[in-house]
Chain A
Amino acid sequence: MDLLNNLGMGLGVALLPENILFCFLGALLGTLVGVLPGVGPAATIAILLPLTYALDPSTSIIMLAGIYYGAQYGGSTTAIMINLPGETSSIVTAIDGYRMARKGRAGAALAVAAVASLFAGTVSTLVLAVFAQPLSRVALNFAAPDYFALMVLGMLACVALASGSLLKSVGMSIAGILCGLIGTDIYSGTSRLTFGQFSLYDGISIIAIASGVFGLAEILRNLEGGSGSSTTLRLTGSLMPTREEARRSVMPAIRGTGIGTVLGLLPGGGAALASFAAYVTEKRISRHRAEFGKGAVEGVAAPEAANNAGAQMSFLPMLTLGIPSNPMMALFIAALILQGIVPGPRVMEAQPQLFWGLVASMWVGNLMLVVLNLPLVGLWVRLLTISYKYLFPAILVFAVFGVYATQNSTTDLYVMVVFGALGYLASKLGAELAPFILGFILGPMLEEYLRRSLIQSRGDFLIFLERPISAALLALAVAIVIAASLPSVARRRNAIFAPDP
């Protein structure tokens, strides 16, 4: 049994005392940098890289991986508690997680996020153990047209994300795409839409935008009455999820895990899509869809599971192909190379301890995160009950420090303020922010893949139909559009978007 052998070997490595120690250190450090503003996991890993020469390769990678998923975890904590998603991956969690917290269910949201992540981590560890070999080259089958088709599907999901007016959501997602296109056009090298600002040549930072439209706009909403004291949070019920909340989280966590596991294999933007896709899926099929955007527990369980599964799966193309799916994975490649290990198809045979040790340690690390964080839930939640009058200056300080310190950029602060104001205005005018953020993330990729496909096909649109993957994905997209525009279905869709009776 390969599976048992591999997992056994992995656990053997992961459970060595020093590896447990460094896994714990990494997870702890990651949670801290994820929760605290100003130091991202990328910077932390980069700072620690030269120090890891001294360690055994598997030990150092295990520790760095701990920082990576620990930080994602910490990012979800701030997203749920104060609507400040510290990492891109926790933006979706902020939508319903924060609403749950405002309803006094912060403890439940944090616990569901933790357990859903652990579940997803367990499943993706098993999937890696069984299918690592055949899955390792999946990423190479995806060319520009296929990614384009995937992004089209994602943008259609944008529309599905709406709970209010369909037209306004489309408008907001277009505004998001336009903001995403700010910066240097990679195909011509010309800077565009920069409003004359030299500092916008490299585009605008997603963390600055998210801190504005989520964090700042939320503070403004809470202060509408003139005093924050009236919006001070009162906790309701027990700290932990109720039986009902737990039951409602099970299927979303399972589906989220499935979605994350598949999309995590696609380094060209799959992982970024995972949490959105999981959220949209739940919103479409849930019996509680009216609660989405108002604190639905499914809206926490699904994206958190998808995130974590996606994050773990993205180690596979990184290790076996040397392809990073995000800047963090690029750092892991640097770490491996510093250790004299060349990522590639032979890593699994040449460095089985490293490969399987890492896979097993991710599971161990996820377990540690839950053990580490569940006792903290009580503390976090109690912090939230401080009078909002004193809490909001702290949240603002948090946001400003976090946005400034990550890139030492005052431009990012201006961006945050502008988008805080616009985000507040838009929400006052009944337009939603989720489609805006999704458009911001996916829009530039959509354009990039579309134009690359056309360059490589010399302007021939048939390329989208000749490739089986893109043809299938586009057919699916067309089917969705047709289904949505048929009168009878349209009526039903309206029923879906309107708050359920």
Chain B
Amino acid sequence: MKLTGYIRKAVWGVTASLIAMTASPLLAETDYPTRPVTILVGAGPGGGNDLAARLIADDLTKTLGQAFVVENRPGASGARAAEYMMTQPADGYTLLLGNTATQIYNAMLLADTTFDPDRDSALAGMFGKSSNVLVVNKDLPVNSVAELVALAKEKPGELNYGSAGVGGSIHLAGAYFTQLAEIDAVHVPFKSGAEMMTDIIAGNTDFAIDNLATSFSAISNGDLKALAVTNATRWDSLPDVPTMAEAGYPQLDLTSFYSLVAAKDTDPAVLDKLNTAIAAYVASPEGAEQLGRIGAVPFDLSPADYPAFITTQGEIWRAMIVAGGTTPLK
């Protein structure tokens, strides 16, 4: 960080002032941002969420002329970062990387989180989404979801499915799948997605509905077989893999997303300005290319369509949580 930090700050400073000089007349409604903006990430450095935050932070730094700085506050699947945002002034200078956890299921699962996404946050902009994918060990004698279900019915209680922790998206999707397909498989939790993937490659665990970003490399190497993606449509980088809906499980329409959210009472002009900048990133070829590198695609969703999207996904999550053996709190 030291040297490059310096250089980067200098470069940003210069570009920022140039941009500010040329662009300021167009954006006269609010002078936001006049000082650096913090983007809170509820995960440690290096994961998909962190990288997504850094991509959008870099872009906003260039287009809005102030440094957007990523601050990692890991803990309780993002709940700690979200709660921290509540303690900060609602001025748009503390944003949160909003994802499925912070915006949908933490409130349903964590009894002691004080952050309620509907009550406490407002969308600044949606920018990326990714899919989950049903993967199996390459030596498992199945090549489709139907064959996997048939195998599991033939050997009830013998197959294992992995997850990166109880109550996480991989576990809940797996549990929901076993419920929908009426199969009896044993859940094996792991500490991280990478550990789970290793165990599936080694053949000790049989299948999982993993995050695409984690298992993409193993799929393209042939170490894992991908049977279906949970996205509503086929995924560009895996064109031969059917969707869960095609495989007969339309209920498993699962989208994990990346967004920036601000505190609820933030000035609408500030949200508007952020939204315009984020929408421009989503529409740009660089945005598509950069998001592609972290296993995501641009997600163009207007603030007007956001509540409906959250409601639909919320219903799916509620069903998954029930399948996972708990009662949603909300």
Binding site for B on A (CB under 8 A): 25, 28-29, 32-33, 39, 42-51, 53, 139-144, 184, 186-189, 198-199, 201-202, 267-268, 321-324, 327, 330-331, 333-334, 337-340, 342-346, 407-409, 448, 452, 455-456, 458
Q: Please give, as numbers and ranges, the residues of chain A lying within 8 Å of B197 by CB-CB distance.
A: 322-323
Selected from A32, A140, A340, the residue in CB contact (under 8 A) with B2 is A32
Within the complex, the shortest CB–CB distance from A453 to chain B, in Å, comes to 10
- Convert B275-313 into 0s and 1s, putting 1 for each residue whose CB lies closer than 8 angstroms to a CB of A: 000000000000000100111000000000000000000
Chain A residue nearest in CB terms to B54:
A50
B-side residues, CB < 8 A to A, are 1-5, 8, 44-47, 50-51, 54-55, 58, 70-76, 80, 112, 157, 160, 165-167, 186, 188-192, 194-195, 197-199, 201-202, 204-205, 213, 216-218, 220-221, 223, 290, 293-295
Q: Bound state CA distance, A452 and B198, in angstroms?
A: 14
Given A334-B51, A334-B294, A342-B220, do A202 and B194 touch, yes or no (CB 8 Å)? no
**Among candidates B71, B186, B217, residue contacting A408 with C-beta atoms closer than 8 Å:** B71
Once the chains bind, are B293 and A340 in contact (CB under 8 Å)?
Answer: yes
The answer to whether B294 and A51 touch across the interface, beta carbons within 8 angstroms, is no
Which of A42, A53, A188, A334 is in CB contact (< 8 Å) with B166?
A: A188
A408 touching B194 in the complex, CB below 8 Å, given contacts A46-B46, A338-B293, A344-B220? no
Chain A hits for B46, CB < 8 A: 42, 45-46, 49, 327, 330-331, 334
B1 contacts across to A, CB distance below 8 A:
29, 33, 39, 43-44, 47-48
A450 to B156, CA, bound (A): 24
Cα distance, A22 to B157, chains bound together (Å): 53
Chain B residues with CB under 8 A of A333: 194, 217
Minimal beta-carbon separation of A145 from chain B (angstroms):
9
Say which residue of A321, A330, A456 sits within 8 Å of B201 (CB atoms). Answer: A321
By beta carbon, the residue of chain B nearest A198 is B112
By beta carbon, the residue of chain A nearest B189 is A186
Tell whether, in the assembled complex, residue A29 and residue B3 are in contact, meaning their CB atoms are under 8 Å apart.
Answer: yes
Q: How far is the CB of B300 from chain A (nearest CB, A)?
A: 22
- Taking A46-B45, A456-B186 as known contacts, 7 extra A-B pairs with beta carbons closer than 8 A to each other, sorted by chain A number, are A28-B3, A50-B58, A330-B192, A331-B46, A344-B220, A408-B72, A452-B190
Number of A-B contacts (CB under 8 A): 150
Residue contact A342 to B75, C-beta cutoff 8 Å? no
Minimum CB–CB distance for B194 against chain A, Å: 5
**Assembled-state Cα–Cα distance A143/B198 (Å):** 9
Q: Is the CB of B201 within 8 A of A140?
A: yes
| Cross-interface CB contact of A268 among B54, B195, B216, cutoff 8 Å | B195
Measured between beta carbons, the chain B residues less than 8 angstroms from A189 are 165-167, 189
Q: How far is the CA of A8 from the CA of B37 in the complex (A)?
A: 48
B residues near A25, Cβ cutoff 8 Å: 3
Q: List, in ascending order, chain A residues with CB within 8 A of B201's CB.
A: 140, 321
Chain B residues closer than 8 Å to A407, beta-carbon distance: 72-74
Query: Which residues of A sit under 8 angstroms from B160, Cβ to Cβ?
Result: 455-456
The answer to whether A42 and B189 touch (CB under 8 A), given A268-B195, A337-B295, A344-B221, is no
A sample of 24 inter-chain contacts (CB < 8 A) reads A25-B3, A32-B2, A48-B1, A50-B55, A140-B202, A143-B199, A143-B202, A184-B165, A199-B75, A322-B194, A322-B217, A322-B221, A327-B45, A331-B45, A337-B216, A338-B294, A342-B216, A344-B217, A344-B223, A345-B223, A408-B71, A409-B73, A455-B186, A456-B204
How far does the alpha carbon of A213 sit from the alpha carbon of B192 in the complex, in Å? 28
Contact B4 A51 (CB under 8 A): yes
Q: How far is the CA of A139 from the CA of B223 in the complex (A)?
A: 14
A321–B47 Cα gap in the complex (Å)?
18
